[in-house]
Structure 1
């Protein structure tokens, strides 16, 4: 196994203006289980073409999405780009094996900008915004029963944060208020953990080598690593992201 090298990470992140692209590169490297590539450059080989997938049944923006077990889930969002947009409670899933969309039972409430995570094949929808108000609600979708149930709410709201699953728990991290919380689905309880050192609004996160890594965010280029074992955040590196030119 080839461990992530700081030099490789800096080289690739500096070469891309999009934080989303950088995040996808890291995800791709992690999932190359056999013959894991030594350098990020090896992942950048592609044919330069987009494949068109079936359009979503419901047009939406500010939604959340997650992929698991052949399905791409699209959750909530808004139905319009104007100031009077209406939050949605609809949930659609694209089966990547046959490219067919399926309507899932609607969420118990309308929400946009929600955080998503998968634990034991069940989908968790955490927080998000409804209208002008951020919520701490948590809902779990039972993939076997095809039903939603409400779980214990987060101890604090997490504006612009993200969620990841690790060791059968859900971690909600980052956001503009530097949150770090852990949910145990088995006993339906929350634990508040040490906060990140930096603000990571919109900052993506992933699990790497048993730690949770949070990348950048709005007006922030820091990368932090959280150890669930020691409940400690450590700043790894800061990368000066190239600014996209407009005009």
Structure 2
């Protein structure tokens, strides 16, 4: 497999943590939407980022898509290409290194870009997004066992460009609650609302209903989020970067799932909008995005136990021709 050239900035991409690797899917650079699929295997050490490989391209160009691991496969869901919102889906098997045509997977019931997706109880849930006309509150889910899509409870707030991740907590009665959290985003048809939403809601996987949660300390759109576990085994959702409607942010906040409360977290090294996050080994990896000027070719890693971000690292590796030219 070919190595990826260093310095390729990307925003609006998707990421999936699968096995010991993180797969980066689609996105866009200055030339437009991308078909790229790349694999990053983190180094367990603290000084090196890890290894990168370029894998076969998708069939369709997709930016502002959602990427999710479903069973043993990686799904690229919706997104936009040439200004059009998509309802199509492509599936990739990491062991087979071959993309399936989108028509081999049933399409979503709605075209979506700037949406969010997550797995819950072996089911793929997709929320919100923009259908080409409006920002949406709808939720639909894909059941791999039946290969079908179904509508689910509508979110309380219409939103696109939001973050979504699973998390769980144990209540005072000792019962575990597993939920999917939808955080921030935007609703551009709400003329009287905030440019960047501070709204947070959780989809309870048992009752299959959305419930409002404590709002973000500051509204954020285009942020990235992931769930990490502290030294006591408590789950926290980290939300980093995005925009407050006026500027691109490097700041981060964290949400204590059990107590429904927010606190500040260490800021990233770079301002990022339209970036993506993935959790691997209880560390939060944040890739790419837009800093207000250009698409970024860097990533950074947060360790919740140490409570800090690592060094700013480049996405990808130089190919042999670049290395020879550099050393000449």
**TM-score, L = length of structure 1:** 0.78
**1:130 aligned counterpart, secondary structure:** coil
Unaligned runs of 5+ in 2: 23-40, 44-50, 56-93, 169-177, 190-194, 230-234, 243-247, 319-328
Residues 99 and 182 of structure 1: CA distance in aligned 2, closer, same or farther (over 3 Å): same
Residues 1:241 and 1:221: Cα distance change in structure 2 (over 3 Å): farther
Structure 2 counterpart of 1:30, from 20, 25, 34: 20
**Is the helix fraction higher in 1 or 2?**
1
Q: Give the equivalent residue in structure 2 for 1:222.
A: 298
Runs of 4+ in structure 1 deviating by more than 6 angstroms, as ranges, are 15-22
Q: Is the 8 A contact 2:198 2:216 kept in 1?
A: yes
1:56 aligns with 2:108: yes
1:138 aligns with 2:190: no
Question: The residue matched to 1:171 in structure 2 has which SS?
Answer: strand
Distance 1:28-1:76 versus aligned 2 partners, 3 A rule: same
Structure number with higher strand proportion: 2
Which stretch of the first structure deviates more once superposed, 68-77 or 102-111?
A: 68-77
1:58 Cα deviation from its structure 2 partner: 2.0
Q: CA deviation at 1:236?
A: 4.0
RCO comparison, higher one (Cα < 8 Å, 6+): 2
Normalised by the length of structure 2, the TM-score is 0.60
Question: Where does residue 47 of structure 1 map in the other structure?
Answer: 98
Q: Please give the root-mean-square deviation of Cα atoms over the aligned residues, in Å.
A: 3.3
Deviations 1:197-247 (A, max 9, x none): 1022111111233321111212211211112123212224224799xxxxx
How many residues align? The count is 225
CA gap of 1:15–1:195, structure 2 versus 1, over 3 A, is closer
1:189 and 2:250 matched: no
